[in-house]
Amino acid sequence: MTEDLSPAERYAAARRRAVEQATALAGFREMYEFGLDAFQIEACRALEAGKGVLVAAPTGSGKTIVGEFAVHLALGQGKKCFYTTPIKALSNQKYADLCRRYGADKVGLLTGDNSVNSDAPVVVMTTEVLRNMLYAGSQTLLGLGYVVMDEVHYLSDRFRGAVWEEVIIHLPESVTLVSLSATVSNAEEFGDWLDTVRGDTEVIVSEHRPVPLFQHVLAGRRMYDLFEEGEGSKKAVNPDLARLARMEASKPSYQDRKRGRMREADRERERRSRSRVWTPGRPEVIERLDAEGLLPAITFIFSRAACEAAVQQCLYAGLRLNDDESRAEVRALVEERTAAIPREDLHVLGYFEWLEGLERGIAAHHAGMLPTFKEVVEELFVRGLVKAVFATETLALGINMPARSVVLEKLVKWNGEQHADITPGEYTQLTGRAGRRGIDVEGHAVVLWQRAMSPEHLAGLAGTRTYPLRSSFRPSYNMAVNLVEQFGRHRSRELLETSFAQFQADRSVVGISRQVQRNEEGLDGYKESMTCHLGDFEEYARLRRELKDRETELARQGVAQRRAESAVSLERLKPGDVIHVPTGKYAGLALVLDPGLPAGRANGHRGFEHHDGPRPLVLTAERQVKRLASIDFPVPVEALDRMRIPKTFNPRSPQSRRDLASALRTKAGHIPPERARKQRAQAADDREIARLRAELRAHPCHGCSEREDHARWAERYHRLLRDTSQLERRIEGRTNTIARTFDRIVALLTELDYLRGDEVTEHGRRLARLYGELDLLASECLRAGVWEGLSPAELAACVSALVYEARVGDDAMAPKVPSGAAKAALGETVRIWGRLDALEEEFKISQTEGVGQREPDLGFAWAVFMWASGSGLDEVLREAEMPAGDFVRWCKQVIDVLGQVAAAAPSEGSTVPKAARKAVEGVLRGVVAYSSVG
């Protein structure tokens, strides 16, 4: 090719090569054994040119190379580089990587509870740590040249995402920002915002996976390809898989076919004999992957308990994925990594069962595990000594654990409120772990067959490679006082209006405004079409609407009145009353077994709750026992007769139900049929309706021959006008939304004397040092002296209420709390929250917007009190009823807030700082101390 160039062209090419070799990028490339991809080179060149970069690329594509180049540039220029990650596990991992490359003397780590070499030129930290530094004006920021924000798409996280935007907005202008993101569909929009707030920013998007990913469905013994073979981005679903889905959908369910009882093994044989496909068991899946050469594999199961159960199932099935040499290597590494754990704690932590799984090459990975155990699993997996991991989706959050295959058991997960389909973004994030660069030539995503599975739906998930980045930014109390302290109220308001949240809201307003303009043009056309030569048809249409609205309102009132009367009549029912159920599936005579009143709880039946009214338990003439509700009685109910209910009656006994229902049918012959009650319509007596009807008849347009035609155009006009008004309200609601929320927060803080105009009071400066969801509540507790005089363990218990949130709400049982001073302080904490909650309502600060203070949760108070008092791990975990990993994580969060409380409390005349520091010592021991990841 060079021979085809002219002498001038060859000279120019040689000059370019010389310039290239003189750049920092050339030296950086020599540090890697493999060549860099085009997108990596493009991003690195932009960085070297002094630009910020946003790199959006798939998981496993190597976008962190760009972040490491920023580290390389900083060291070469004598500047600092901060490398931020969303979670401590990632920070620990990146810290270890950079130490290996640049030496431990040049790399530091800051994760809130870990501080290593914090003055180093390169410091790895969680994003919150950098945010706190910016607000505190930390001296560590001096000389900062580059900030790498790994997993920047985390700013969509509704709980923590705001921190990413705070950092981006408040970083000094001299700092070059490197943003690394998963592939998102609106990368250009995000890049435009970065360009606005950070200056010249290059957006580099790559959807290319260095290791191609193949999609499969495992049904029974057969592995189906999801897509038909062929080229092109729009791949067709494998026709064999589509045909299988149609055949299976046409069959009656197994439950419909089966009658009587059967052992599990017989049931499995029956199922397989009647169907060509089934959902393979977990050991079966691993054996199949092993036979196909598709290990190591990560199987994602959206349940911690199911992950642990999966390991046990594989062990019981006799699965062994390691030879004797590998087993010995595993045991040696595990014993070395867990040497600091006291032997008595190993039994409590399930160490020996865990070790048996590891020796066989099988492990679980989830947030409930002890952090040390998770780290060991990660290390063994990367070394190839663990070949099958059953994990929850938390493993997909950027931790470097690539596999050859990823298995998804189901395509639905619990989202905290209900079971919902996983999103294309979640599917991409999970399956993106498959395919190890430099090891595998291809990766494999395997979805297990489930009855009623839709291959087309799965293809949609697999084919949608990107998802939009949505801001979750909102102001907080701590943010408000820190901003006002640094910039004053006016400038703070302007800064908040530069957030990505407001940027997106403003852009959406443009589209809504265009729709309003189109609607207004349509309204003009409709208005012309409903013109009547006899009079003002718009006025006539208004009268018709008023009449219709009044009739609807009266009907609604009538229903509400009858429902109230029905509820009152249900309260009069007694056991033994014979009633008539007027409508529905259970219409006919019924015998009241239990009236369903609060007293009914004493008989083992739940009474009515949440204003549902009484819920009588009845026996129908068809022998059905059913609990009814007021909705089953559109009219008040009366007892038609009485029957004696035998003391021996058991509603669960078919014989008891049959005998009593027979007596009820006999009684029915002596009860006269209930006559329908005629009720006079309320509209007939309503004066307003009479007036409107008279006005309608007297209106000139009433006699128009085209009246109904005009009325149709008038109805369209009214609907479009209503829609347009809603759009205008949306525009008003989205304009300056962040700033308006900030104004309400400032007003509340002014009311509580945290702010006086642009001045931050002493109370405000205390609040500025308290970060967390319940920042204002913590400040108010300090201010009121609620925690004065508490012992270290009691203070730890009180602080736990500010951080802990139960995974599943349990209103039935009040949590156990320490007695004495701690109990009184916790009670006062809840009372202060109640006052703040009322104040937030007054100032229109909504918890649904993620701004208000949620109710403190006392569910961890007793456990952390015991632990800080010196109780053993076995006793504490038994009392806490939570996995060791959860216990450690909550303890670390308590330690974090205790440190903040110690710094924020008055330095003189207060017992809190000393108690807080002692509490940290009491909590930071045993498993909590030797777990490096929080």
Of residues 136 and 8, which shows the higher confidence score? 136
Of residues 654 and 202, which shows the higher confidence score? 202
* pLDDT value of residue 647: 85
pLDDT in tens, 591-637: 999 887 754 333 333 333 334 568 888 999 888 888 888 778 888 88
Q: Which helix (H) or strand (E) holds 578?
A: strand 577-581
Cβ neighbour number for residue 614 with a 10 Å cutoff: 23
Would strands 297-300 and 388-391 be described as parallel, antiparallel, or unpaired? parallel
The DSSP secondary-structure symbol of 227 reads B
Residue 122 has pLDDT above 90, yes or no: yes
The DSSP secondary-structure symbol of 120 reads S
The residues, any chain, with a CB within 8 Å of residue 534's CB and separated by 6 or more, are 700, 701, 703, 704
Residue 186 has pLDDT above 90, yes or no: no
CA 855 vs CA 778, 803, 838: distances in Å: 12, 11, 12
d(CA 877, CA 874): 6
Q: What percent of the chain has pLDDT over 70?
A: 87
The residues, any chain, with a CB within 8 Å of residue 371's CB and separated by 6 or more, are 89, 885, 888, 889, 931, 932, 933, 934
pLDDT in tens, 842-880: 998 876 566 788 889 998 999 999 999 999 988 888 888
Helix axes 500-529, 707-734, angle to 10 degrees: 160
Residue pair 298/395 in contact by the 8 Å Cβ criterion: yes
pLDDT in tens, 509-547: 666 767 777 888 888 888 888 888 888 888 888 888 888
Mean per-residue pLDDT, 183-202: 86
Dig out the tokens for 50 from the structure.
């002094």
Of residues 187 and 112, which shows the higher confidence score? 187
Q: Which helix (H) or strand (E) holds 56?
A: strand 52-56
* pLDDT value of residue 850: 66
Return the minimum-mean-pLDDT range out of 146-160, 245-259, 504-518, 743-757: 245-259
Residue pair 144/108 in contact by the 8 Å Cβ criterion: no
The DSSP secondary-structure symbol of 768 reads T
d(CA 873, CA 342): 10
pLDDT in tens, 20-75: 455 778 778 777 777 788 899 999 999 999 999 999 888 777 888 999 999 999 99
d(CA 308, CA 359): 16
Residue pair 146/71 in contact by the 8 Å Cβ criterion: yes
Q: What is the CATH number of domain 277-463?
A: 3.40.50.300
Q: What is the CATH number of domain 740-929?
A: 1.10.3380.30
Closest alpha carbon to 93 in 343, 431, 397, 350? 397
The rounded radius of gyration (Å) of the Cα atoms in the chain is 34
Return the minimum-mean-pLDDT range out of 290-304, 386-400, 749-763: 386-400
* pLDDT value of residue 599: 41
Residue pair 738/502 in contact by the 8 Å Cβ criterion: yes
d(CA 589, CA 620): 6
d(CA 801, CA 790): 15
Return the minimum-mean-pLDDT range out of 333-342, 378-387, 547-556, 887-896: 547-556
d(CA 799, CA 45): 48
Surface-to-core class of residue 745, CB atoms within 10 Å of its CB (0-12 exposed, 13-18 middle, 19+ buried):
buried
Return the minimum-mean-pLDDT range out of 205-219, 448-462, 631-645: 448-462
741: helix, strand or coil:
helix
Closest alpha carbon to 201 in 228, 218, 183, 179? 179
Q: Which helix (H) or strand (E) holds 85?
A: strand 80-85
Would strands 80-85 and 144-149 be described as parallel, antiparallel, or unpaired? parallel
CA angle 489/494/497 to nearest 5° reads 125
* pLDDT value of residue 683: 59
Residue pair 262/293 in contact by the 8 Å Cβ criterion: no
Domains 16-205 and 277-463 share a fold: yes
pLDDT in tens, 709-735: 888 888 888 888 888 888 777 776 666
* pLDDT value of residue 147: 95
Domain ranges in the chain? Answer: 16-205, 277-463, 513-553+687-733, 559-668, 740-929
Residue 258 has pLDDT above 70, yes or no: no
* pLDDT value of residue 496: 85
Where is mean pLDDT largest: 311-325, 539-553, 635-649? 311-325
Residue pair 734/505 in contact by the 8 Å Cβ criterion: yes
The residues, any chain, with a CB within 8 Å of residue 315's CB and separated by 6 or more, are 356, 357, 360, 362
CA angle 547/550/551 to nearest 5° reads 85
354: helix, strand or coil:
helix
- Measure CA of the first residue to CA of the last residue in the chain; give whole Å: 56
Closest alpha carbon to 445 in 454, 456, 457, 432? 432
Dig out the tokens for 376 from the structure.
């060991």
Q: What is the DSSP string of 31-67?
A: T-SSPPPHHHHHHHHHHHTT-EEEEE--TTS-THHHH
Amino acid at 184: V
pLDDT in tens, 482-493: 999 988 988 888
Could you tell me the fold of the domain covering 16-205? Rossmann fold (3.40.50)
d(CA 787, CA 798): 8
pLDDT in tens, 569-598: 888 899 999 998 888 778 889 999 988 775
Q: Over the chain, what is the mean pLDDT?
A: 83
Return the minimum-mean-pLDDT range out of 67-71, 120-124, 271-275, 754-758: 271-275
Of residues 684 and 833, which shows the higher confidence score? 833
pLDDT in tens, 753-779: 999 998 999 999 999 999 888 999 999
Return the minimum-mean-pLDDT range out of 132-146, 719-733, 822-836: 719-733
Residue 269 has pLDDT above 60, yes or no: no
CA 9 vs CA 2, 21, 22, 738: distances in Å: 9, 18, 20, 56
Cβ neighbour number for residue 115 with a 10 Å cutoff: 13
Would strands 641-642 and 107-110 be described as parallel, antiparallel, or unpaired? unpaired
Q: Which helix (H) or strand (E) holds 214?
A: strand 213-219
Of residues 809 and 772, which shows the higher confidence score? 772
Q: Is 0.85 topped by the overall pTM?
A: no
Peptide bond into 296 cis (omega under 30): yes
d(CA 153, CA 54): 11
Residue 358 has pLDDT above 50, yes or no: yes
Q: How confident is the model at residue 808 (pLDDT cuts 50, 70, 90)?
A: low
Mean per-residue pLDDT, 813-839: 88
d(CA 245, CA 452): 7
CA dihedral 347→349→351→353, nearest 10 degrees, is: 90
- Report the 3 state secondary structure along 384-452: CCCCEEEECHHHHCCCCCCECEEEECCCEEECCCCEEECCHHHHHHHHCCECCCCCCCCEEEEEECCCC
Q: Tell me the HSE value of 574 on the side-chain side, using a 13 A CA sphere.
A: 6
Of residues 113 and 35, which shows the higher confidence score? 35
